[in-house]
Amino acid sequence: MKTKSIAMGVVVAVVGAAVSAGAANAQSRDQIRIVGSSTVFPFSTVVAENFGKLGKFKTPVVESTGTGGGFKIFCSGVGPQYPDISNASRAVKDSERESCAKNGVTDITEVTIGYDGISVAVNAKTKAFKLTIPQLFLALAAEVPVGGKIVKNPNTKWSDVAPGLPKTDIEVYGPSPVHGTRDAFNELVMDVACVTFPEIKALPGDQKKKVCNTIRDDGAWIDVAEDYALIVGKLNASPEAVGVFTFFYIDQNKDKIQGLTIGEVKPTFDNIASGKYPLARPLFFYVKNAHAKLIPGITEYVKEFLSDKAAGPDGYLVAKGLIPLPADMLKAQRAQTMALAK
């Protein structure tokens, strides 16, 4: 089978906010522009909406480009024609910082906003089953160990991976490489699983990295770019399909989908917040410091995002599925962003 791919970009100018190409290239701009992670997108969007309702500044424009795509745009330069903030479902890479620096983007503030969990889900009516991290690797890696050798993945059904798993085709809809969620999946699943297989652990560095991080392209894994709501639709329509995305979509679609237990731990709010769930990870956004003095409202937007009413334990972002930071960490994030106002 050939590799399947589904792409759906999302651009939302919330509450009527819009920026034309001409405005983006103008000498000045009075509206915050945000790009990046589709995982952070729903949280950033609701903050932008509430920020705009305060009436002092225009509602920010929020664009879902994926984490990697967001950093590429964000790092293109300094000035009103470039974005001010980049949402991210993983930390910025050294290579991305280098790209930023080459284009004069040398002063950036990293803001941790809370936690999320990468979830493996099925239709709400499907009989749930449990998976381990090594089993996920054996189902989804391009190459796996068989009989002491590394071979092209022969597993076509979940029951091929381990006895007791469903006798259904492996059909998994998951994040494309543009997503920070894909990077996090590689780190939290593929890399972790690799060290459990002696045949892979014994490989030279570059070869081991390739085996660990290469997901199969024979149609068992279907890349989904940008909009995870599409995965929810696929799971809702197919009782055998499996989806890989963020906890937010399970939390908001409990009538349609259910999260599978990974390593004997279910993807729940409490398990992610406590760190018990093995696929939990932090979420971020990055602010271009030079723009805090150039574009009106950036400091105020950051304060709104980190406020108790938004990111606190009873905040409106928690109602949207964000796992909040502990109080001391949230306080620390506020303290480090105070420099933006200076």
Q: What is the mean pLDDT of residues 22-42?
A: 78
Spatial distance between the Cα atoms of 29 and 298, rounded to a whole number of angstroms: 12
CATH 2.40.50.140 applies to domain 117-280: no
Spatial distance between the Cα atoms of 85 and 166, rounded to a whole number of angstroms: 43
The number of CA neighbours under 13 Å toward the Cβ of 67 is 22
Lowest mean pLDDT among 108-117, 128-137, 222-231: 222-231
| Beta bridge pairs of residue 64 | 10
3-state secondary structure of 111: strand
Model pLDDT, residue 21: 39
From residue 86, alpha-carbon distances to 21, 71, 150, 327 in Å are: 19, 6, 39, 24
User: Over the chain, what is the mean pLDDT?
Assistant: 90
Q: Tell me the pairing of strands 242-246 and 172-175.
A: parallel
- pTM, 2 dp: 0.78
Dihedral angle sign, alpha carbons of residues 113, 118, 124, 130: negative
Spatial distance between the Cα atoms of 159 and 133, rounded to a whole number of angstroms: 15
Q: Tell me the pairing of strands 33-36 and 61-64.
A: parallel
What are the tens digits of pLDDT across the range 109-126?
999 999 999 999 999 999
Considering the chain, tell me which residue range(s) the CATH 3.40.190.10 domain(s) occupy.
Answer: 4-114+284-341, 117-280
Joined tokens for residue 260: 């599978």
Spatial distance between the Cα atoms of 258 and 117, rounded to a whole number of angstroms: 14
Position 226 confidence tier, pLDDT thresholds 50, 70, 90: low
| Beta bridge pairs of residue 123 | 257
- Asked if 339 contacts 110 with a C-beta cutoff of 8 angstroms, the reply is no
Spatial distance between the Cα atoms of 229 and 244, rounded to a whole number of angstroms: 11
Indicate whether 20 pLDDT > 50.
no
The one-character DSSP state at 14 is G
- Asked if 32 contacts 288 with a C-beta cutoff of 8 angstroms, the reply is no
Q: What is the mean pLDDT of residues 259-281?
A: 94
Model pLDDT, residue 35: 97
The number of CA neighbours under 13 Å toward the Cβ of 86 is 32
Spatial distance between the Cα atoms of 236 and 196, rounded to a whole number of angstroms: 34
Spatial distance between the Cα atoms of 225 and 221, rounded to a whole number of angstroms: 13
Q: What is the mean pLDDT of residues 164-185?
A: 92
Residues 6+ away with beta carbon under 8 Å from 7? 176, 224, 225, 226
Position 341 confidence tier, pLDDT thresholds 50, 70, 90: low
Give the chain's count of helices (H) and strands (E): 17, 13
4-114+284-341: CATH homologous superfamily?
Periplasmic binding protein-like II (3.40.190.10)
Could you identify the residue written with the tokens 């972790």?
192
- Asked if 293 contacts 254 with a C-beta cutoff of 8 angstroms, the reply is no
Spatial distance between the Cα atoms of 79 and 29, rounded to a whole number of angstroms: 9
| Beta bridge pairs of residue 221 | 172
What are the tens digits of pLDDT across the range 274-314?
889 999 999 999 999 999 989 999 999 999 999 999 999 99
3-state secondary structure of 85: strand
